Structure 1
Amino acid sequence: MKGVKIAWAVIAIISWCHSANGASLHSHASTDSTAIEPAQHSIWRMPSLALAAHYGYLIPHRTEIQGLVKTHTRAFEINVEWLTTGVKKWHALYKRPYIGIDAWLCDPGNRELIGQQYGLIPYVRFPLRYGKRFGHDLKTGAGVGYTTKTWDLENNTKALFIGSPFNAAINLQYGMQAFVSDAISLSLGLRITHYSNGSFKTPNMGTNIVTLFAGCKWIAPTNRRDCAPPEINFLSVLPKRWNLQIGIGFGMKEISVPHQPRFPVYLLNLTESYRIGEKVSIGAGLDAFYTSSLRYQLELLDRDSRPNDALRLGLSGVFTMHFGKTDFIFATGGYFYDRTHLDGSVYSRVGLHYHFTPQLVGGFRLKTHFAKADHPEIMLGWCF
């Protein structure tokens, strides 16, 4: 889990740097709504279709599961995707990326304990550099995954990877493309696929699968990169540099004790961020968590428990990538107030925010302690 989060942040920065090369803009704007007379490109046009075969390994990232990986991982991937139309500002900022849906079919390497994994994962694929014959890109997505065999107290106690059939599925992929013709391309690359339920149901070690892949793609005529984007003029309105956001949130988590209820988590955070251009912001946050399970865990350890033992306060650094009204959030920080010290002093959060209005924002995030998921959380915030 930790490696996936770090890779997300690194690739976000790489994508930002590379996407600046060759981006075609007439001028700058703060939101998509500032576009003047956008061309009407239908989103219901024919998609491209890609197929890929994968071969790799399920990483035994915790000592408890090191003996459970039996064979190499084999997987198959089907993608349906569209080239973005260019009528939104973020399309041009990121060099007209592709959007699509990834169907994932996987044999992780232990059919007896894990069975098979399936997933439907919406994604965005960012071009790094494309020529007439060759190109390379970065693809990332998040969706829903299904695992056919999970931990069970009576029948499958060794399967510590996954405690629930349905999980969040996240992929991160680097690919190289060779264009055989205008309609056909071949691909090679590396992919990381992560399944986890965020400790909504334990045990939840999660699965981290690394694979090499080879594939081919049929490119629909309307998805070819030599198709000219619509001519759009944008108003020269720079984004607001400094932004203050206050948010409240709620989550649920289990602890690794059978037959225990889920415990609620309440949170409050204050974030001040600085906008670096139109694509990226950096900032700092003050976070407060009230994790009700902490008091119960102290009781299991025969330690005294008081109401404020469930309270944690922390400071975090925040990195944000902007895609129109949608933001990708990555934050890492440390607790300066934590009476329990049960999970270490460092925490991280990764997620998506959506701006319903310039002030109102909502989102979904996952909080972790290093390689261990702590809990999923939903949030609602107000921007000043």
Structure 2
Amino acid sequence: MLKKLCIIFFFIFNTLYLFSQDTTFNKFSVGFNKRYGFIIPHRSSLVYITEDHVKSWDITLSYRTNGNKPWHALYRTPELGIGFYHANLGNPNYLGKVSAIYGYIVITIKKYKIIDFSYNIGTGVALLSNHFNYIDNIYNIAIGSQANAYIDFGLSAKFKILNNLSVSSGLQYTHYSNGAWRKPNLGFNIPSVNLKLFYSFYKLHEPEKPKVEDLKSNFIKKNEYSVTISKGVRENAPPNGEKFYPTAICLKAERLVTLRRKIGTGLDVFYDPSLKSRIEDDSITFKNIYNFRSGIHLSHDLVFNKVSITMQAGVYFFTKAKDDGLIYSRFGLRAKIWKNLITSLTLKTHFVKADVIEWGIGYSFNK
């Protein structure tokens, strides 16, 4: 597994390197990062299988945007990159190791001559060496699949050492889970501290001040409306049970309040055939309509040109599934792919409990 991921990362790295031999190469940086953290035992059963801290490292290749697009200026010429992550999960017998390939963005909060403060967001695919199975690993009650979603968020301070060399330190939060498509799926939540060394193929210089005044002066607040249909796959307990395919329809109204942010509200209708067995477990006489749930949500999107990072919090006004509660949330990506056509990839949860990974397509228009 590790060998395959290393080969893939090496191929991507060398491809980017070859393309970067022209004048754009002076926008690239490479980095090596060490992390030290722990698994949050958000279920009491996780306490018994976490024996040690999580020790991890990752290597990254990033490109600093050149400011030739409006969103580059709005986000202070952010860095875009790819990374390879590897971690020992603190229990070699039951939890094993995890490796991931991910893409990420680094956005500067405040920049000075020798130091800058930033936050980073990353997402990708993580592969676990020791997931749950009935034959030789019944004690890993956290994750039942080898392939999982990888989500990463961090805050850091970066210090200039030499013209091309810098070091950063900060806090990182890492999560991987499979969105309940295979049980068990408690997931891993790992906070950590990190220390990272960078080498930039350009001289680190005084902070740039992108000109955004013209963009702001021409900005017009506008409303956007959309309808999206999404599908997912999930599994009820026990592991290796029947697969179900939930569907969701979302009617949404949003307002672009700044060049970087949208706020909105939406009406959700969910159809989830996996609810039947869970409702019957609560000794409720089942009716077909109980496969449906409805809710309303509030949303906030961070906009990067045609792509946005969406965060939603909602409440059910119709549901018979008591074990999930009344509150749900979504986190993920939305993108305009062609004219009014949009697509989305979101993780729907009930607090820290993953419900389903949703793949959506829809139509949007402005008014």
* Runs (5+) with no aligned partner, structure 1: 1-40
Q: Which has the higher contact order (CA 8 A, sep 6+)?
A: 1
Equivalent residue in structure 2 for 1:140, among 112, 121, 125:
121
Give the Å deviation of 1:224.
Answer: 5.8
Give the Å deviation of 1:144.
Answer: 0.7
Give the Å deviation of 1:334.
Answer: 0.6
What pairs with 1:93-242 in structure 2 (closer than 5 Å)? 93-221=74-202, 237-239=218-220, 241-242=222-223
Cα 1:244–1:227 shift into 2, 3 Å: closer
1:247 aligns with 2:228: yes
1:54 aligns with 2:40: no
Cα 1:357–1:240 shift into 2, 3 Å: farther
TM-score (norm 2): 0.88
Percent identity of equivalent pairs: 28
1:295 aligns with 2:276: yes
Cα separation, 2, equivalents of 1:228 and 1:279 = 17
Give the Å deviation of 1:171.
Answer: 0.7
Please say if residues 85 and 229 of structure 1, whose CA atoms lie closer than 8 Å, have aligned partners that are also in contact.
no
Give the Å deviation of 1:256.
Answer: 1.4
Q: Deviations over 1:133-187 (max 9, x none)?
A: 1111101110111110000122111101111111111111111111011101111
Cα separation, 2, equivalents of 1:213 and 1:54 = 4
Cα separation, 2, equivalents of 1:156 and 1:86 = 50
Instruction: Return the letter of the residue paired with 1:247.
Output: T
Q: Matched residue pairs, number?
A: 344
Match of 2:5?
Answer: none
Cα separation, 1, equivalents of 2:230 and 2:195 = 42
Aligned Cα root-mean-square deviation (Å): 2.3
Partner secondary structure for residue 164 of structure 1: coil
Please say if residues 163 and 204 of structure 2, whose CA atoms lie closer than 8 Å, have aligned partners that are also in contact.
no
Match of 1:312?
Answer: 293
Equivalent residue in structure 2 for 1:324, among 273, 291, 305:
305
Match of 1:369?
Answer: 350
Match of 2:254?
Answer: 273
1:360 aligns with 2:341: yes
Instruction: Return the letter of the residue paired with 2:118.
Output: D
Q: Which runs of 4+ in 1 moved over 4 A?
A: 41-46, 222-231, 233-237
Cα 1:48–1:290 shift into 2, 3 Å: same
Instruction: Return the letter of the residue paired with 2:66.
Output: T
Please say if residues 184 and 239 of structure 2, whose CA atoms lie closer than 8 Å, have aligned partners that are also in contact.
no
Instruction: Return the letter of the residue paired with 1:325.
Output: K
Please say if residues 328 and 349 of structure 2, whose CA atoms lie closer than 8 Å, have aligned partners that are also in contact.
yes
Give the Å deviation of 1:379.
Answer: 0.9
Please say if residues 48 and 223 of structure 1, whose CA atoms lie closer than 8 Å, have aligned partners that are also in contact.
no
Partner secondary structure for residue 305 of structure 1: coil
TM-score (norm 1): 0.84
Cα separation, 1, equivalents of 2:142 and 2:206 = 41
Cα separation, 2, equivalents of 1:213 and 1:219 = 19
Match of 2:46?
Answer: 65
Q: Deviations over 1:273-303 (max 9, x none)?
A: 1111111011111100000101132345554
